[in-house]
Structure 1
Amino acid sequence: MSYWNDKAKRLLKSELVRRGISNADLANLLEQIGIEETKSSIDSKICRGTFSASFFLQCLTVIGCEKIEIVEYENQLSIAAEPQAEYNLKK
């Protein structure tokens, strides 16, 4: 997997984990804004790390992520979003 695919995958996955949102939950949230994705298609996209910027932004929007910060330390990816922030889960 390329470095950039891995970076995108880890960023999206970390935001989902922070909010306790599963890929099935994500599919339901995306459906609410008219995006048709199945849990399986989301699993595949995230596993490969190959998804469009549009998909990435759609996911971040529906999970309520308004700000992300990407920091690298000695070739190890450390990702944090909205540090010290309270998350509002969308139902």
Structure 2
Amino acid sequence: MWGAAIPPSPWGDGARRADEGRFPAFAQLVEELADIGVDEKGVNIRNKLSRGKFSAAFMLACLEAIGTDNLHL
């Protein structure tokens, strides 16, 4: 089980599309996060999103920073 590969998921693929311009630029996201009191560097954000693994708290902070009012699951 420990050595098993994690299958790709649409959630991770969505996070990886940040490089394709579907989400705000990393520099802009850094500024928006700073405005709400979250201190993150652009390289850290890029790494989190490219890995597709980050905390729910970080996701909620990003959603608030980019002005998301509603989230439909």
TM-score, normalised via structure 2 length: 0.71
Deviations 1:33-61 (A, max 9, x none): 11110110000000001110000000001
C-alpha contact (below 8 Å) 2:13/2:52 kept by paired residues: yes
Moved beyond 3 Å, runs of 4+: 1-4
CA distance in 1, matches of 2:7, 2:55: 15
| Offset of residue 66 of structure 1 | 1.5
Higher RCO (CA-CA < 8 Å; seq separation 6+): 2
Residue aligning to 1:7: 11
Unpaired runs of 5+ residues, structure 1, are: 71-91
Residue aligning to 2:3: none
Residue aligning to 1:46: 49
Unpaired runs of 5+ residues, structure 2, are: 1-5
| Offset of residue 17 of structure 1 | 2.1
Aligned positions, number: 65
Residue aligning to 1:30: 33
TM-score, normalised via structure 1 length: 0.58
Across the aligned residues of Structure 1 and Structure 2, the Cα RMSD in angstroms comes to 2.5
Residue aligning to 1:68: 71
Structure having the larger proportion of residues in helix? 2
CA distance in 2, matches of 1:58, 1:45: 13
Structure having the larger proportion of residues in strand? 1
CA distance in 1, matches of 2:54, 2:37: 18
Percent identity between the two aligned chains: 29
